[in-house]
Structure 1
Amino acid sequence: MDFERRSEPLLPRRQFILRVLWYGTFSFVLLGISLGIGTLGYHYLNELGWLDSFLNASMILAGMGPVDALKNDGAKWFASFYAVFSGVVFLSTVAVFLSPIAHRFLHKLHLGD
């Protein structure tokens, strides 16, 4: 989905809301997949229950840090890479989610040019 160019008129409100919903949906799907990867990794590599695995993955993805101690080297390797992955995914998701809003704001500023 392309954004309108500087010389084009501002997108109508209904289309803008649909764009925000589309980008929001994509963002939440990306977060859900990332959360699933973390949950599976903690469950199988650190031998945690599903709820504890989900909690640890959520805390890492949100930037808070792990809750449970890591039991083996495989879990430590996974947690290290998942933490870096989560940081990139979280920042990228925020950028994707806010991009239509930021674009509309900037486009409004340049309409008079």
Structure 2
Amino acid sequence: MYEKKTQAMLGKKAFWFRAFTHLLMALGFITLTLIIGALGHWFFEDDIHWHEAAIDAALVIGGIGVSKLPATIGGRLFYAMYGVYVSLAYAVAVSIVVLPFAHRILHKFHQDDERENDKDDE
């Protein structure tokens, strides 16, 4: 998927396409996380509508917390585990978005090192 350090650097148009696809992957992952949270909250709580469950899941993803605390033990345990999962999901989503830029910077450094080594060999 990515070019090796011995290969030429990817063109700007192809790089921005790669960055855009990574952004779409991260948004898809966040959407999946939102769906998991809404379904879990809706499943474990008895008297909650699906739209309230979706809002609560979105608030947890945003770091605000739920608007109404879960009443059941299952709901409380779910939100405890979901909070841990959301923290990890945030790190994964940020990593997916940053990855193409980090790879391009490191690829540029490797190319600069190879050019300096070629000059030293002459």
TM superposition score normalised by structure 1: 0.89
* Structure 2 spans left out of the alignment, 5+ residues: 114-122
Q: Distance in 2 between matches of 1:48 and 1:41?
A: 11
Residue 25 of structure 1 deviates from its aligned partner by 1.4
Residue 109 of structure 1 deviates from its aligned partner by 2.9
8 A Cα contact 1:70 1:76, kept in partner = yes
Task: Name the structure 2 match of 1:59.
Answer: 59
Higher helix share: 2
SS in 2 for 1:112: helix
Residue 4 of structure 1 deviates from its aligned partner by 1.5
SS in 1 for 2:65: coil
Task: Name the structure 2 match of 1:32.
Answer: 31
Residue 88 of structure 1 deviates from its aligned partner by 0.8
Residue type of the partner of 1:61? I
Q: Distance in 1 between matches of 2:64 and 2:102?
A: 27
TM superposition score normalised by structure 2: 0.83
Q: Distance in 1 between matches of 2:74 and 2:30?
A: 23
Task: Name the structure 2 match of 1:9.
Answer: 8
CA RMSD of aligned residues (A): 1.4
Residue 78 of structure 1 deviates from its aligned partner by 0.7
* Structure 1 spans left out of the alignment, 5+ residues: none
Residue type of the partner of 2:18? R
Deviations 1:24-65 (A, max 9, x none): 111111111110010111122123222221111112122222
Matches within 5 A, 1:25-104: 25-46=24-45, 47-104=47-104
Larger Rg: 2
8 A Cα contact 1:63 1:87, kept in partner = no
